[in-house]
Amino acid sequence: MSAERMPDVARGRLSPEDYARNFADLHPPLERHEAFVEADRCYFCYDAPCVTACPTSIDIPLFIREILTDNPKGAAETILSANILGGMCARVCPVETLCEEACVREAAEGKPVKIGHLQRYATDVMMESGEHPFERAAPTGKRVAVVGGGPAGLSCAHRLATHGHEVVIYEARPKIGGLNEYGIAAYKVPGGFAQREVDFVLSVGGITVQTGKALGRDIALDELRRSFDAVFVGLGLAGVNAVTLTEHELAGTRHAVHYIAELRQAEDLSTLPVGRHVVVIGGGMTAIDKAVQAKRLGAEDVTMVYRRGPDRMGASQFERDLAQTDGVKIKYNAQPRRLIETNGHVTGVEFEYTTERDGRLAGTGRTFVIDADMVFWATGQAFTPEALNGAAETIELRDGRISVDAERRTSLSRVWAGGDCVYGGEDLTVVAVEDGKIAAESINKALLG
């Protein structure tokens, strides 16, 4: 293909009906009868492998049995006692590689119990009832600062509040929710669910939120350590891995995470510009989410290009199948070499085929060009430790992220951390929730002596 052409980027490529249909709920919720039928498929294993596969150790056989006995609120309490963001995790967890992959029916029949759907059914019933299954303990007089209002911070704050501690969440963005609010594909969490779940978490009481407060800019770690009895850091991954192919910035090139955040906050999807020909560079979940949403915004051709083979991709097979069903093309074993431009706007990308030699990626010298009106980088996010530099004592890092022990304690006294910003994390919402929960129990133990 030739890239010597004028770029075609436009808004409002689709009708309002098309936008509504394309960004409707990816998995419509189960009706009551459907939930009964699905719950009846569970074997209620004694040593249930699905529980072991769940990072938050939800008692899955118990909550499914509670659904089967027409007690969805009881099922929700079982779920939420282990994972307070169980509603979101039911929607976005890669269950196909966690609980459902471990399901005995998956091994026996290739058709696991729909654990994620059942979890959503129960938690939706609870949230729609307006009830909260947990109450605060008597006030302890202890105060804890939580830096970051993402899944780890929310999980930590809620658990601490139920123990009777006062919690203040400091969040750099205008809304709390973190990745759940700004980073997940809109068709996975339509209807403002992320903020409804935030409101549900905060309704336990004892939690104050201050938005627009960034660590290192508006608040300092030393100051928080002096003012609070404990500090939890759940900063997430605010940076992006930069890829430099030109000396100057080209119009039409963006980081996928920034565009997804803009899309998630857009009240009118027709106002978002999208190219006719879109290239997404990367192989993880962010790349999939961006590629699928570009197609659903009206892009004619969307191509994902990943530098290695399919067995090395971060995105699950389910997500890849979803993208290809939507018409996204996935090209493997190719890396970008240069951007092609016309009058300062990207019009194509030249790629080089890659191979592996002794376990290392290498170019083959053979190239090809893909036309592109817009190019999105989805090459990973990075922790930005600069916000921690104000501390009088240096917090220990490992491979660029915060080092923590099994209880999520950092090298600084009275400071814990969790979520994507810590070393060894899996960059999953459910793992961040577990980090926050473990840290909260450790903090509670420390505060009560």
- pLDDT score recorded for residue 386: 83
279 and 220, same domain (yes or no): no
Same domain, 389 and 363: no
**In the prediction, which pLDDT does 363 show?**
94
Whether residues 263 and 201 share a domain: the answer is no
Same domain for 295 and 370, yes or no, is: yes
Instruction: Convert the pLDDT of each residue in 250-272 to its tens digit.
Output: 899 999 999 999 999 999 999 99
The answer as to whether 30 is a domain residue is no
Q: 432: exposed, middle or buried (C-beta count within 10 Å: 0-12, 13-18, 19+)?
A: buried
- Residue 133 burial class via C-beta count within 10 angstroms: exposed 0-12, middle 13-18, buried 19 and up: middle
Residue 347 lies in a domain: yes
Rounded Cα–Cα distance for residues 278 and 373 (Å): 6
Q: Is the torsion defined by CA of 6, 11, 12, 18 positive or negative?
A: positive
pLDDT beyond 80 at 66: yes
Q: Is residue 1 predicted with pLDDT exceeding 50?
A: no
Beta-ladder partners of 377: 255, 281
pTM over 0.85: yes
Would 1 be classed as within a structural domain? no
- Average pLDDT of the residues in 78-103: 97
For residues 30-63, b (16+ Cβ closer than 10 Å) or e, as one string? Answer: beeeebeebbebbeeeeebbbbebbbbebbbbeb
Q: Is the same domain home to 366 and 335?
A: yes
Phi, psi of 146 (to 5 degrees): -115, 115
What value, to the nearest 5°, has the Cα angle with vertex 393 and ends 387 and 394? 55
Q: Chain-centre distance of CA 447, in angstroms?
A: 31
Q: Which of 129, 160, 177 is the last residue of a domain?
A: 129
Residues 110 and 204 in one domain: no
Q: Are 7 and 252 in contact (CB under 8 A)?
A: yes
| DSSP tag of 273 | -
Average pLDDT for 65-69 = 98
Q: Does residue 84 belong to any structural domain of this protein? A: yes
Q: Do 67 and 152 have their domain in common?
A: no
Last-in-domain residue among 380, 411, 428? 380
Q: Is residue 60 part of a domain?
A: yes
Comparing CA positions, the residue from 330, 324, 432 lying closest to residue 92 is 432
Domain match, 328 and 344 both: yes
Q: Quick check: 153 and 70 in contact, CB under 8 A?
A: no
**Mean pLDDT within 214-240:** 94
pLDDT tens per residue across span 271-321 = 999 999 999 999 999 999 999 999 999 999 999 999 999 999 999 999 999
pLDDT band at 4 (very low <50, low <70, confident <90, very high): low
User: DSSP class of residue 409?
Assistant: B
Domain termination site, one of 380, 403, 438: 380
In a domain, 2, yes or no: no
Domain assignment present for 254: yes
Question: For 397, phi and psi rounded to 5 degrees?
Answer: -110, 155
For residues 355 and 253, membership in a common domain is answered with yes
Domain assignment of residue 76, given as a range: 42-129
Query: Can you tell me the distance from the alpha carbon of 122 to that of 128, in angstroms, rounded to the nearest whole number?
Result: 10
Spatial separation of the C-alpha atoms in residues 187 and 293, rounded to whole Å: 8
Residue 270 to residue 276: CA distance in whole angstroms: 14
**Residue 253 sits in a domain of what CATH number?**
3.50.50.60
Is residue 27, in this structure, part of any structural domain at all? no
Instruction: State in Å, rounded, how far the first CA of the chain is from the last one.
Output: 68
CATH (domain of 82)? 1.10.1060.10
Helix axes 115-129, 193-202, angle to 10 degrees: 60
Count of domains forming the chain: 3
Looking at the structure, do residues 419 and 434 belong to the same domain, yes or no?
A: yes
Q: What angle do CA 103, 27, 292 make, to 5 degrees?
A: 105
The answer to whether residues 308 and 339 belong to one domain is: yes
* Residues 297 and 350 reside in one and the same domain: yes
